[in-house]
Amino acid sequence: MITERNARATGDDVYELARALFPVPRSLTGEGVRETLRLVDELVPLELTEVPTGTAIFDWTAPREWNVAGAWIADESGRRIADYADSNLHLLGYSQPIRTRLRGAKLLEHLHSLPEHPDSIPYRTAYWAPTWGFCVTDRTRAEIVPDAEYDVVIDATLEDGSLTYGEAVLEGESEEEVLLSTYICHPSLANDNVSGIALLAVLGRDLASRPLRRTHRLLFSPGTLGPLAWLSRNRGQLERIHAGVVVACVGDDGPLRYKRSRAGDTIVDQAAAHVLRQRSREAMVDDFFPWGGDERQFCSPGFDLPVGALTRTPHGLFPQYHSSADNLDLITPQSLGDSLATVHELIEVLERNRTYTSRAPYGEPQLGRRGLYREVSAGAPRSEEAFQRALLWVLNQADGSQSLLDTAERAALPFSVVAAAADALFEAGLLE
Amino acid sequence: MITERNARATGDDVYELARALFPVPRSLTGEGVRETLRLVDELVPLELTEVPTGTAIFDWTAPREWNVAGAWIADESGRRIADYADSNLHLLGYSQPIRTRLRGAKLLEHLHSLPEHPDSIPYRTAYWAPTWGFCVTDRTRAEIVPDAEYDVVIDATLEDGSLTYGEAVLEGESEEEVLLSTYICHPSLANDNVSGIALLAVLGRDLASRPLRRTHRLLFSPGTLGPLAWLSRNRGQLERIHAGVVVACVGDDGPLRYKRSRAGDTIVDQAAAHVLRQRSREAMVDDFFPWGGDERQFCSPGFDLPVGALTRTPHGLFPQYHSSADNLDLITPQSLGDSLATVHELIEVLERNRTYTSRAPYGEPQLGRRGLYREVSAGAPRSEEAFQRALLWVLNQADGSQSLLDTAERAALPFSVVAAAADALFEAGLLE
Amino acid sequence: MITERNARATGDDVYELARALFPVPRSLTGEGVRETLRLVDELVPLELTEVPTGTAIFDWTAPREWNVAGAWIADESGRRIADYADSNLHLLGYSQPIRTRLRGAKLLEHLHSLPEHPDSIPYRTAYWAPTWGFCVTDRTRAEIVPDAEYDVVIDATLEDGSLTYGEAVLEGESEEEVLLSTYICHPSLANDNVSGIALLAVLGRDLASRPLRRTHRLLFSPGTLGPLAWLSRNRGQLERIHAGVVVACVGDDGPLRYKRSRAGDTIVDQAAAHVLRQRSREAMVDDFFPWGGDERQFCSPGFDLPVGALTRTPHGLFPQYHSSADNLDLITPQSLGDSLATVHELIEVLERNRTYTSRAPYGEPQLGRRGLYREVSAGAPRSEEAFQRALLWVLNQADGSQSLLDTAERAALPFSVVAAAADALFEAGLLE
């Protein structure tokens, strides 16, 4: 059980890792991705996979690898008005290398800004278009003089190489797997998604030190293509996936939010909805929709896996989204700790959930002689006697068709209380 | 797509036909029925069926044919206090011929009036009873002097003949049929049901000029016995009916109202509910109930066809119902046009609805290289980007089990947007 | 049909029997149980079963028989501060015999009281613990002087004997059974459960004088062990149970309350919910929960019988529960009569419920020529014409899959109206 104090302590751990991950210049491919995986590996050992440029990945192809040495725009006085060294958001992702001088009017065609947030640098990519560009604040853009000349330098390579992902497999008693996935392609954006990377890394460290019933797989991969590459290499083993969650945007102070899988009623949907309802009144459970994060790939019709998504404020719904305002001030140790504790609790529910059959199904068994009922009877259990109620519910529902989670939901009791009651009844020989 | 201007224009067409149909003296059988079908035939060619008197129609028998040359009541001074020539509502439907003089006290037993609407003539019939009667305003009834004498003349024939119905078959690519039915037995009542006859006639004219995937059958028949006669002669072909709607009471200014089929969840129920929700917040969708219009026959347990009913204010729920107050002032070109556009839209949804299977079901396909996604990515589609959302929804749901209408409902998007997205994806080779 | 006047009259009968039953010193076993069954037998002849001490009853064993000649506590002056002769609640149920003198401090360990209700004597039992105790008002308890001496006498026997239950079998045309069960182990508590015993006794008297389609079995047995003993002796015949209700706590002035069976949607659940909704807006229908009365045994997973529970304010939810305040003032002839009428109505629905098939399923049959429809038509049936609506609903739903109760629910009509319509249609040869 994670106490409030523990949640804060591990929230600090997550925040500390997030701070280290923040400046790394990530993209769909390249050294920034590998550096990110190296930082994660310090907490939980990873196995890396390199997918060579040109490899077919379902409807896609692994792209060329992109690495940036530097990039800037300077005005006629030599002043750098945008410099990759200041913020890796300045460079349009997958910009082609260039070294040129052009007029302001022409330069403007290659600039991206956010008129509604004039002090923020947007985050933009053009993975599949042969172009280049810079992202700047709208104030900077406004200062461009159409007739003036500007120097543009993008010292980058776009060459055959590979797309990289890492995974940690924490073996359990069973081959059944719980998949926890996050994306590592976003550069200096704190909530989206340094928060998810850091959370899963700390989670991996924690899980490594506890016994597990099922195998837990942590997947750190660049968005869309990473999960697809993993899926293409593991098609024969997808049956093993008992439940999965994509974890991202988990550091801001918005309420917890779970997005159901495409099927909508799988075990992870049931467990996550239960956990969120128990943890907070503000928590939300959304039906599936086919945009957002990597759950889209796991939930495409050809796979239709039991994989949902856990966030706090999700993609596109916080004003700092995809801009330089999504920085380390947006995320807090407390929110990160609460998110981590939520994932732990979800895993705990999945680990402890079982379907029992009563060994005394004909009438109520005599609980008193097993020490499970008070000696002097006073009638129905009072509302505060949740454990007594849970004992009766578990016995009544133990017909081999209802899981403990089903029982908790029908009884409107916390899973932990129902599971503890089941443990006591199992100890007493009343369940099998 | 029907624009507001078109709706008004065709609403005018419907109203004009309604005005021509209004005075025709219709009943369950007779020359008024044939004259009505002749007026419809001017817009859409009809095939007529004559069902001879005495023909067994399930639990019923085709009745004798009723025709009226004239009918009136005169007081001792010779003043006609009720005359069929003024309003065909004055005569109780299927009154037997009579020519007599009787006292006011006796006459009163044969008069029908509406105390709660003292200026309206009620509409009454007695198809199966050997009787006669007149319908008068309650004011007229109050003036009858019990001891005075009155002359009564009903110059009518009730003889072997036939029951007449007409149908127009607009052939489509497939033998599957969409059935549109209305009843033609009510005399001078505008909303109930000159409105329905006129609407289906104009609809027929419109449908004749467009390509159709399914065959569309328009049935104009006297209520209850007409549909039953048609059903009895088409029992072997009822499997062809993909969807059907009984259209009546569609000219008043009440909100649109759809009544589900007996089964309640057939394709026409799903499509009509979707169309009505999209068109208006005031529109209502009612569960089936076994009274109202001819949907009762199509939805009897032996047939249980996928046939619902479209009205504005339905039978019995407007105060002018079944009285002379249901006149041409109660219906408007605008309401008739809106109702017609609704039927067109319903037909459009049924025609365009399909169930696709994705040809790239493993993950999301690469939309960018097919020109279906912007080159520079900025994240999740914004709420105004309904078409982008529809592309993703259609791809995600295209597992061979979900129709476009199912997808539109899950996505909470208009069917037209979802269908347009499906067309684009089909063009791009992504669906089959 | 039970009129309001009848309800009151039989409510008086129930109250009179309750008054006679109230003082009898009942427990899990013993002569008080037998005296209770003798009083019931005066209204409806019972067959008694004696289950010898030591008999295995599933997970339980039939206990020793407990009989009390007298019991009291006296202070040093000889004043009796608690006397079984005043109230049989004073003695902890199944107290072992004792005759001793002890100090107040020690005596207090054997006293039970209700601090929140200082003037009430609680009801407590210790069937399975080798102990003794007295139940007193909290005021009495407060007067105990720790250093004073007290005489305690429990003149009781706890010896091999038997557990007793009684049943009345009212034979119907069919072997299918409706089971009505109540518990007879509570001593002087009026609502819980002298009310239930008295109600079932009067019901039995009433049912004996009417023809029955199904066999009705009334079971009067000590709680928990009684039903389990009955179940253990009737395991081969449980398939016969079509529906069942545990009746208890039916005399207070709270609203009617029905608790669903474990399965939740059996015929008794459907019928009881319908009857309660028809009788009162205040009536409540609760989902099953595994505590309360003997429905727990019938609804244990090994049996899972279609048995619900009917109460007014149920176990634990009235402040007088399990205390001397649950006396004859808490129950009224009017509430008892209303509860009895409810059970009669429930039985009536179960008896009359049938699933018909229409003999004229193709379209509506011609009701007019069978005298079931007015000769002069005026349109849709008005809201007050419930019988007309019921005729149409029954015909429309008579496809061999929908019971009259299903039809009543879909039609939102009282079962009695729907059943009367079905009778008329059956008479007319339209149903089979």
Q: What are C323-344's pLDDT values in tens digits?
A: 999 999 999 999 999 999 999 9
Task: Decide: C278 and C415 in contact? Cβ < 8 Å.
Answer: yes
Nearest to B46 by CA among B58, B60, B59, B36: B36
**Residues C425, C430: Cα–Cα separation, whole Å:** 5
Interchain proximity B376–A128, CB inside 8 Å: no
Closest by Cα among A121, C187, A311 to B380: A311
Please report the sign of the dihedral spanned by the C-alpha atoms of residue C128, residue C129, residue C131, residue C134.
negative
- Which of C79, C332, C54, C65 is CA-nearest to residue C191? C332
Look at residue A375 in the predicted model and tell me its pLDDT. 72
Check A291 against B389: CB less than 8 A apart: yes
8 Å CB contact of B290 and C392: yes
Name the amino acid, one letter, at B382.
Answer: R
Place of tokens 């309420």: A255
- Taking alpha carbons only, the member of A385, A394, A402 closest to residue A424 is A394
Residue B369 corresponds to which tokens in the numbers above?
A: 């290289």
Does the distance separating the beta carbons of B375 and A129 come in below 8 Å? yes
The pLDDT value given to residue A170: 98
What's the rounded Cα separation, in Å, for the pair B262 and B308?
Answer: 8
Backbone angles phi, psi at B421, to 5 degrees: -65, -45
Cα–Cα distance measured from residue C3 to residue C337, given in angstroms and rounded to the nearest whole number: 11
In this prediction, residues B214-239 reach a mean pLDDT of 98
Residue C377 predicted with pLDDT over 90: no
Alpha helices in A304-412 (DSSP H): 333-352, 386-397, 404-411
- Say yes or no: C60 contacts chain A, CB-CB below 8 A: yes
Instruction: Out of B365, B382, B396, name the one closest to residue A290 (CB).
Output: B396
Asked if pLDDT for residue B184 goes beyond 70, the answer is yes
Distance from CA of C304 to the nearest CA of B (A): 32
Q: Which residues pair with A354 in a beta bridge?
A: none
Contacts of residue A369 in chain C, CB cutoff 8 Å? 128
Contact call for A375 and C128, based on CB within 8 A: yes
Q: What is the spatial distance between Cα B178 and Cα B266, in angstroms, rounded to a whole number?
A: 13
- Contact by Cβ (8 Å): B47, B167: yes
| pLDDT of B224 strictly over 50 | yes
Distance (Å) from the alpha carbon of A289 to chain B's nearest alpha carbon: 7
Return d(Cα C84, Cα C95) in angstroms, integer: 12
Using CA atoms, how far apart are residues B27 and A11, in angstroms rounded to an integer? 82
Q: How far apart are the first and last CA of chain A?
A: 25
pLDDT values of chain A reduced to their tens digit, one per residue, 432 residues: 445 556 667 899 999 999 999 999 999 999 999 999 999 999 999 999 999 999 999 999 999 999 999 999 999 999 999 999 999 999 999 999 999 999 999 999 999 999 999 999 999 999 999 999 999 999 999 999 999 999 999 999 999 999 999 999 999 999 999 999 999 999 999 999 999 999 999 999 999 999 999 999 999 999 999 999 999 999 999 999 999 999 999 999 999 999 999 999 999 999 999 999 999 999 999 999 999 999 999 999 999 999 999 999 999 899 999 999 999 999 999 999 999 999 999 999 999 999 999 999 999 999 999 999 887 776 666 656 899 999 999 999 999 999 999 999 999 999 999 999 999 999 999 999
Cα B396 from Cα B390, distance rounded (Å): 10
Two tokens, residue A352: 């402890």
Q: Smallest Cα–Cα separation from A299: which of B393, C372, B286, B251?
A: B393
Residues of B in contact with C375 (CB under 8 A): 126, 128-129, 131
Q: How many residues does chain A have?
A: 432
CB distance C316–A379 less than 8 Å?
yes
pLDDT of residue A146: 97
**Residue A276: exposure state from Cβ atoms within 10 A (0-12, 13-18, ≥19):** buried
Distance CA C271, CA C274 (A): 5
Best mutation target, C356, C366, C407, to test chain B (most B CBs within 10 A): C366
Tens of pLDDT, residue by residue over B188-220, are 999 999 999 999 999 999 999 999 999 999 999
Q: What is the DSSP string of A209-273?
A: TS--SEEEEEEEE-TTHHHHHHHHHSGGGGGGEEEEEEE-S-SSSSPPEEE--SSS-SHHHHHHH
Determine the residue of chain B that is closest to C407 in CA distance. Answer: B289
Confidence of residue C6 (pLDDT cuts 50, 70, 90): low
**C-alpha distances out from residue A123 to A181, A323, A337, Å:** 22, 5, 27
Please write the tens of the pLDDT for every residue from B296-315. 999 999 999 999 999 999 99
CB-CB: which of B302, B315, B322 is closest to C361?
B302
Q: Which of C104, C65, C66, C107 is nearest to C88 (CA)?
A: C66
Percent of chain C with pLDDT over 70: 96
Q: With contacts defined as CB-CB under 8 Å, which chain A residues touch C60?
A: 363, 366
Residue A184 CA to residue A227 CA, distance in Å, equals: 11
Residue B271: φ, ψ to 5° = -65, -45
Are residues C360 and B262, on separate chains, in Cβ contact within 8 Å? no
**pLDDT over 80 (residue B379):** no
For residue C229, what is the nearest residue in chain A, using CA coordinates?
A363
Picking from A144, A181, A128, A159, the residue whose alpha carbon sits closest to that of residue A310 is: A181
C297 touches chain A (CB under 8 A): yes
Q: Is B246 left (phi over 0), alpha (psi -120 to 50) or beta?
A: beta
C224 touching A, CB under 8 A?
yes
| Residue B183 contacts residue B293 (beta carbons within 8 Å) | yes
Confidence (pLDDT) at A2: 47
- Give helix C415-427 / helix C267-279 axis angle, nearest 10°: 110
pLDDT tens-digit profile of C196-232? 999 999 999 999 999 999 999 999 999 999 999 999 9
Chain B hits for C399, Cβ within 8 Å: 301, 304
Q: Residues near C51 by Cβ (< 8 Å), separated by ≥ 6?
A: C57, C62, C162, C163, C164, C165, C229
**pLDDT (tens digit, 9 = 90+) per residue, C51-110?**
999 999 999 999 999 999 999 999 999 999 999 999 999 999 999 999 999 999 999 999
* C378 contacts chain B (CB < 8 A): yes
For CA atoms B391, B393, B398, B401, give the dihedral sign.
negative
C378, B228: Cβ pair inside 8 Å? no
Write the ipTM.
Answer: 0.94
**C-chain residues near A361 (CB < 8 A):** 300-302
CA dist A303 and A240 (Å) reads 13
- Across the interface, whether the CB atoms of B378 and A302 are under 8 A apart is answered no
In the block, which residue shows the tokens 């083993």? Answer: A237
As a whole number of angstroms, the distance between CA A97 and CA A155 comes to: 6
Collapsing DSSP to helix, strand or coil, A425 comes out as helix
DSSP assignments along A117-172, one per residue: STT--B--B-TTSS---EE--HHHHHT--TTSEEEEEEEEEEES-EEEEEEEEE--
Contacts of A6 (CB under 8 A, 6+ apart): A341
Torsion of CA B378, B381, B384, B389, to 10 degrees: 150
**pLDDT, tens digit (0-9, with 9 covering 90-100), for C237-266:** 999 999 999 999 999 999 999 999 999 999
Answer whether A379 sits within 8 Å of C304, measured CB to CB.
Answer: no
* Band of pLDDT at residue C384, cut at 50, 70 and 90: low
C398 touches chain B (CB under 8 A): yes
Mean pLDDT of C412-428: 97
Is the pLDDT score of C2 beyond 50?
A: no
- Residues in chain B closer than 8 A to C360 (CB atoms): 58-59
- Comparing CA positions, the residue from A49, A57, A37 lying closest to residue A231 is A57
Is the confidence at residue B1, as pLDDT, over 90? no
pTM over 0.90: yes
**DSSP β-bridge partners for residue B91:** B134
Tokens found for residue A396: 């009544």
- The answer to whether C315 contacts A368, with C-beta atoms less than 8 Å apart, is no
CA–CA gap between residue A255 and residue C83 (Å, rounded):
61
Is any Cβ of chain C less than 8 angstroms from the Cβ of B296?
A: yes
Interface-testing mutation among A291, A297, A298, A320, with chain B (most B C-beta atoms within 10 A): A291
Question: Which residues does chain A have within 8 Å of residue C92's beta carbon, measured at their own beta carbons?
Answer: 376
- Please judge whether C364 and B302 are an interchain contact, meaning their C-beta atoms are less than 8 angstroms apart: no
∠ at Cα A102 (A101, A107), nearest 5°?
125
Does the distance separating the beta carbons of B389 and A112 come in below 8 Å? Answer: no
Chain C CB within 8 Å of residue A383 CB: no
The per-residue pLDDT of chain B, averaged, comes to: 95
Partner A contacted by B392 (CB < 8 A): yes
Helix (H/G/I), strand (E/B), else coil: B68: strand
Strands annotated E in C77-202: 80-83, 98-103, 111-112, 134-135, 149-159, 162-170, 174-183
Written as one letter, the residue type at A58 is F
pLDDT computed for residue A385 by the predictor: 87
Q: Tell if the CB–CB gap between C363 and B59 is shorter than 8 Å.
A: yes
